[in-house]
Chains A and B, each alone.
Chain A
Amino acid sequence: MAESSAPQSQKLLRPAVLMLILSAAVAAIGWRLGLNSRQVLSITIFAMLVLGTLFFWSFRLAIAFLGLAALLICNVLTIPKFVESSSLEVILFLVGMMVVVGALRDLGFFTWIIQLIITLPGLTGRRFVIITALTSALLACAVDEVTSILFMMVLIFQVCDTLKLDPKPYLIISVIATNIGSSGTMLGNPVGIFIGTKAGLSFEDFMVWAFPIMLVCLTATVGVALLYYRRQIATFQERLQERRKRELGLGPSVKVAYGRGIAVLVGTVGLVAIHRRLEQLLVLPLNTVLLMAPLISAGLIMIWRRDRARHYVEDEVDWWTLLFFLVLFSVAGTLGYTQVTDRMAAGCTAHFGRSVAILTPALVVITAVTSAFIDNVVCVAAFVPVIKSLAASGLHAMPLWWALLFGACYGGNITMIGSTANIVALGMLEKRYHGHIRFLDWLKMGLLVGVITCAISAGCVMLLSRWMPQTR
């Protein structure tokens, strides 16, 4: 054991030193820019958190804990401020959705979806790509990107194993579509619900402004994928036809009582969809019903299926990730308390001016490039206080919130480590086939789609900005 741990320690040493050097550089730049000691400490710890997710993915929670403790011990952050900025409502929203997803799996909802696709009459290679992309995106909209990719990968593996095809092109298409779809609603991505709650956006706002843009980007992506993978799709078609000649399908199909699953999903999403109207009716603060909707569904499910309740909470909820989010939101919130974000906002307007036409594409590009390499939630957590500061200065902020959302979601497509969905899918590929996708192979398609979707979304947001209302 001693022999094997020594090289591992050496492997960790280099990025650890690099992380410390870069964090120290951030601190030095802070000093030179005239930030006070509390501001320097908050940006340094935030930088360590960002670099920690980049260099030490598996240690990110440990780094977050230590960073939070340092902020509290140095009195940069206080306990009440920590509780306030940890966005517990967002964390609880995600817990509720994860319980709902666990129940949907048990109830056969996802089995039903997969069976629907593999037994679809008239399925062709092109149709499979279109349906895979559309289902990935819509599932991401309805539940979340990670759940969507978990189930879509099983579909892709089932089909590709049956047809003896390389699953990688379909994996890439599905992951990219999932990331794009995750920008369509507040449910699609932790980024969406975080931006929504911080910007005061409702589910309806997402449906009016984000969902249509997402659909345009998805259509463009499907077009690119059909062209880019035309050879692989042709092989898919040949194998499928050959199998059809022998009257063979793509897998077994059983009778699934899917009604209860659909009722749970429609009930949850429906409650989320009408949250604004219910809040107005009940005179509740904005997004109260939105944030409680998954908890209401989860609570009812846990009473209905009480023998599975503990399983849903203990096994279906990704507590590791949620705890990281909780600490990350607090550390990012510190940037706001220490007024670092005001300085950053001032710097932003000094460089790009106060024109939304310039700030929007700039924000899309910056967030896309950043989230191509680091967790998009980390990226968004950094920019949210900056945009809040810009909004507080009287700037028309709604286009900037959408720019942040699209940049963060679509930038995740550029590299294979750009989003959680990518990492989950690659992990599944590695586990099942002991294979991997080369960084450059992903980058070719990822960059192409990333550039196109970022350009479309930035263009659409700028075009529509004049009709967008002021955020609340």
Chain B
Amino acid sequence: MNSHNPVKVSSLFSPKEVVCGLKDCSFTDCIRILIKRLAKSGAIPNADAALQAVLKREAMGSTIIAPGLAVPHARLERLQRSSLAVATSADGIQPSTAEGKQVHLVIVVLTDIATPGEYLEVLSSVTRAFSEQQVIAKVAQLPTPEQVWEFFDKGIGSLPAFITAADMMATDFVTLRCTDRIAKVIDCFNRYKVTEVPVLDDDGDLVGVVAEQDILKLGLPEHILWLEDMRPLLRFEPFGEILKKEQQIYLAEIMSDRFVSVQERTPAIQVARELVRRDIKQVFVVRGKKLVGIITLSNLLGRILRG
């Protein structure tokens, strides 16, 4: 598992597939230009089909992975090898989604449908290389395709050996503290429309999880569910007590300490296995005991099958 994938990102394209200094160009046109370049160099057999596939994916959701950086992509059938094409624009390109901010670097990635991990590997490499905003700005300013290609050659290196949990995780998530009262927990479920929230201790370590079910069970414990006659509950009587005491009950009293966590370097496929084997909806990614990300089943599936 530790062996490095020998494929360098720069080997997936040449300076001929780099367009520098695009001006007054729509996002779709930018993609079209890059795909034409790829077709011209023989990397893809059918430019129209590739364009349709990339635009279809764009319509499903934005591919902006960092401020100023978009990675439109598609998986195509019978592609000899994965290919990249890069466009830079110091002035900025307005992406197709209305709410999107201007992008300065567009990397089109086309991979074969039979290698679903390759797009994720490219994405992982690109994300790491452009994790700092100024790097994107710096590459967007490079004047020649050769210099852009050289940056990819020296600055990004090889594709990772495998996709890790860190590559798949979402890093913007809501958390709660053990010392929070359940009033805050109820508000949290109501506001963020989440079904399960990680709970941290005073040191920020992940110590538990609280689900909507835990709140529901506070009002409807098993012995009340035995009642066949629901008349004593018709007006949600047991929940009155929760409302009265929601400022007195600590989250630590209702949270569960049964959750599944993985380290950042855990292979993403192992995360998928945990989700299936344990029949759970999300896995927490930790660095030591600190929570750094969450991988939900729907996110994971979307990333693997739709990119």
Contacts from A to B (Cβ < 8 Å): 105-108, 110-111, 114-115, 151, 154-155, 157-158, 162, 164, 246-249, 251-257, 308, 434
Contact of A256 among B218, B222, B232, B258 (CB under 8 A): B232
Contact of B248 among A114, A151, A157, A246 (CB under 8 A): A246
Q: Is the CB of B226 within 8 A of A108?
A: yes
Contacts of B237 in A (CB 8 A): 254-255
B258 to A, closest residue via Cβ: A434
- Residue pairs across A and B with Cβ atoms less than 8 A apart, 30 shown, are A105-B226, A106-B229, A107-B228, A108-B227, A108-B228, A110-B226, A111-B226, A114-B223, A115-B223, A151-B223, A155-B223, A157-B222, A158-B223, A162-B253, A246-B248, A246-B249, A247-B245, A247-B248, A248-B245, A248-B248, A252-B218, A252-B224, A252-B238, A252-B241, A253-B241, A254-B227, A254-B237, A254-B238, A256-B232, A257-B229
Given A154-B222, A252-B241, A256-B227; 5 other pairs, CB 8 A cutoff: A110-B226, A157-B222, A248-B249, A252-B218, A254-B227
Given contacts A105-B226, A248-B245, A158 and B233 within 8 Å (CB-CB): no
Contacts of B223 in A (CB 8 A): 110-111, 114-115, 151, 154-155, 158, 251
In Å, the complex CA distance between A247 and B238 comes to: 16
A-B pairs with the 9 shortest C-beta distances?
A: A252-B238, A106-B228, A254-B232, A114-B223, A246-B248, A255-B232, A108-B227, A111-B223, A154-B222
Tell me, yes or no, whether B136 is within 8 Å of chain A by CB. Answer: no
Choose among B227, B232, B238, B248 the residue with the greatest number of A CB atoms under 10 Å from its CB: B227
In Å, the complex CA distance between A2 and B277 comes to: 19
In Å, the complex CA distance between A251 and B232 comes to: 16
Contacts of A252 in B (CB 8 A): 218-221, 224, 238, 241-242
Q: Is the CB of A158 within 8 A of B222?
A: yes
Shortest beta-carbon distance, A405 to chain B, in Å?
Answer: 31
Q: Count of chain B residues with Cβ under 8 Å from any Cβ of A?
A: 23
Contacts of A246 in B (CB 8 A): 245, 248-249
Shortest beta-carbon distance, A115 to chain B, in Å?
Answer: 7
A105 to B, closest residue via Cβ: B226
Q: Is the CB of A251 within 8 A of B221?
A: yes
Contacts of A251 in B (CB 8 A): 221, 223
Contacts of B242 in A (CB 8 A): 252
Contacts of A308 in B (CB 8 A): 228
Q: Is the CB of B227 within 8 A of A111?
A: yes
Contacts of B252 in A (CB 8 A): 164
Choose among B226, B229, B233, B249 the residue with the greatest number of A CB atoms under 10 Å from its CB: B226
Contacts of B228 in A (CB 8 A): 106-108, 308
B245 to A, closest residue via Cβ: A248
In Å, the complex CA distance between A151 and B222 comes to: 10
A114 to B, closest residue via Cβ: B223
Contacts of A254 in B (CB 8 A): 224, 227, 232-233, 237-238
Contacts of A253 in B (CB 8 A): 238, 241
Shortest beta-carbon distance, B77 to chain A, in Å?
Answer: 33
In Å, the complex CA distance between A434 and B278 comes to: 12
In Å, the complex CA distance between A255 and B224 comes to: 10
Contacts of B233 in A (CB 8 A): 254
In Å, the complex CA distance between A377 and B226 comes to: 29
Scoring B residues 250 to 271 as 1 if CB is less than 8 Å from chain A, else 0, what string do you get?
0011000010000000000000
In Å, the complex CA distance between A106 and B226 comes to: 6
Shortest beta-carbon distance, A147 to chain B, in Å?
Answer: 12
Shortest beta-carbon distance, B14 to chain A, in Å?
Answer: 48
Contacts of A158 in B (CB 8 A): 221-223
Choose among B224, B237, B249 the residue with the greatest number of A CB atoms under 10 Å from its CB: B224
Scoring B residues 204 to 239 as 1 if CB is less than 8 Å from chain A, else 0, what string do you get?
000000000000001111111011110011000110
Contacts of A151 in B (CB 8 A): 223
Shortest beta-carbon distance, B255 to chain A, in Å?
Answer: 10
B249 to A, closest residue via Cβ: A248
In Å, the complex CA distance between A31 and B78 comes to: 77
A249 to B, closest residue via Cβ: B241
Q: Is the CB of B238 within 8 A of A164?
A: no
Shortest beta-carbon distance, A338 to chain B, in Å?
Answer: 47
Contacts of B253 in A (CB 8 A): 162, 164
In Å, the complex CA distance between A157 and B232 comes to: 23
Choose among A111, A157, A158 the residue with the greatest number of B CB atoms under 10 Å from its CB: A111
Q: Is the CB of A111 within 8 A of B224?
A: yes
B217 to A, closest residue via Cβ: A161
Shortest beta-carbon distance, B226 to chain A, in Å?
Answer: 5
Shortest beta-carbon distance, A243 to chain B, in Å?
Answer: 8
Contacts of A105 in B (CB 8 A): 226
Choose among A114, A162, A251 the residue with the greatest number of B CB atoms under 10 Å from its CB: A251
Shortest beta-carbon distance, B242 to chain A, in Å?
Answer: 8
Shortest beta-carbon distance, A390 to chain B, in Å?
Answer: 45
